[in-house]
Amino acid sequence: MNAMPELNRLRQQWQEQPVPDADAAALRQRVAADTRAHTHTLIALSIGTLLIIGATAFHALRSGQPGAWFAVFYTAAFALLVWLVAMWLSRGTWRPRDESLAACLDVSIRRCRSVIVAAPIGIVLYIAGLIGSLAWRQRLLGVEWQQLLDTPAMIIAGWIGAPLYAIGMLVNAQLQRRRLAFLERLRQQLGEG
């Protein structure tokens, strides 16, 4: 009734099993696709940011209101803050250091962690941007809070956009947590970390 030798033999057989082959080509393709998507997203967001600042400046030129130029400054300063935070959060996620499987795993893990951390920060920045925009309009333009909260822009960006943005960020972060767990298990199986 001594099961220990049998258990030890089974444990040794299990430990001697080869590590399952990771589909290295698929991982490299995924990293390359993520890199392309990241680059395209940055280009689109850069153009969008410049268009928003440009539209704000165009409005300030056409408007006779002195507070309109403050809007240009506020928009540009807030855009700069958001870009700085985004660049800080995405450090080390641009591309793998080489074409090895370990480098592809590493950059994929870094990307997942970056998105997970970025979710709450992005939500806070979105809300801070809305509140800041409302506050400067109220202060400089003398518009009542109730009137500001009922504008079509606030309804779209605040009452509809903010919850949708928050839900999207949190769902994406949850998906990235699952992907991160998979990638970390894969790295552990491959003896990379």
Q: Look at residue 119 and give its three-state secondary structure.
A: helix
Amino acid at 145: W
Residue of higher predicted confidence among 27 and 12:
27
pLDDT band at 17, cuts 50/70/90?
A: low
Which of the 8 DSSP states describes residue 99?
S
User: Out of 110-114, 143-147, 154-158, 189-193, which region has the weakest mean confidence (pLDDT)?
Assistant: 189-193
User: In the chain, count of helices (H) and strands (E)?
Assistant: 7, 0
Mean predicted confidence (pLDDT) in 30-54: 91
- What would you measure as the largest C-alpha separation in the chain, in angstroms? 94
The pLDDT, as a whole number, for residue 70 is 85
What are the tokens at 172?
A: 């994406």
In our burial notation (b when 16+ CB lie closer than 10 A, e otherwise), range 20-43 reads eebeeeebbeebeebbeeeeeeee
The answer on pLDDT for 2 being more than 60 is: no
Region of poorest pLDDT, from 8-22, 50-64, 84-98, 116-130: 8-22
| Mean pLDDT, residues 115-139 | 92
**What is the model's pLDDT at position 184?**
94
Q: What are phi and psi of 90, to 5 degrees?
A: -95, 10
Q: Would the pLDDT of 11 be above 70?
A: no
